[in-house]
């Protein structure tokens, strides 16, 4: 079963926080869960060594590092810029 986003997650994500991405699992998604997972933000992250990485998809952010779990990826580093929102507005159920 797919875990819900944490209750204290920030949607849209916030600069200065850790970014998280929930991988898509094809079966068992309700309409609201599907739409929630298909709206995401493309972010630039600052890594612990100070270098930057661009183009990371983020569903939500948290002020603390919770780590990764099955179907959930915590990106390395913190969000330094939010460049684009990607919305799935054509989904039909």
Q: What percent of the chain has pLDDT over 70?
A: 74
Mean pLDDT on 73-86: 95
> Is residue 79 included in any domain, yes or no?
yes
Residue 35 has pLDDT above 70, yes or no: no
Rounded to whole angstroms, how far apart are CA atoms 26 and 18? 26
Which structural domain range is residue 56 located in?
A: 18-86
Asked if residue 40 is part of any domain, the answer here is yes
Give this prediction's pTM: 0.78
pLDDT at residue 19 greater than cutoff 90: yes
Instruction: Please report whether residue 92 resides in a domain.
Output: no
Sheet of 78-86: strand order equals 52-58, 40-46, 78-86
In order of 21, 27, 75, the CA distances from 42 in angstroms are: 11, 25, 12
| Residue whose structure tokens are 């972010």 | 43
Could you give the CA distance from residue 24 to residue 71 in angstroms, rounded to a whole number?
7
Instruction: Say if 93 falls within a structural domain.
Output: no
Let me know if residue 1 belongs to a domain: no
Tell whether 9 is covered by a domain.
no
| Number of domains comprising the chain | 1
């Amino acid at each position: 079963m797919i875990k819900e986003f944490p209750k204290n997650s920030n949607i849209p994500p916030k600069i200065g926080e850790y970014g998280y991405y929930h991988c898509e699992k094809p079966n068992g998604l309700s309409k609201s869960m599907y739409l929630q997972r298909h709206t995401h933000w493309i972010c630039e992250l600052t890594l612990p060594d100070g270098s930057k990485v661009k183009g990371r998809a983020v569903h939500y952010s948290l002020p603390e590092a919770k780590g990764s779990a099955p179907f959930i990826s915590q990106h390395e580093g913190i969000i330094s810029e939010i460049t684009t929102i990607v919305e799935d507005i054509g989904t039909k159920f």
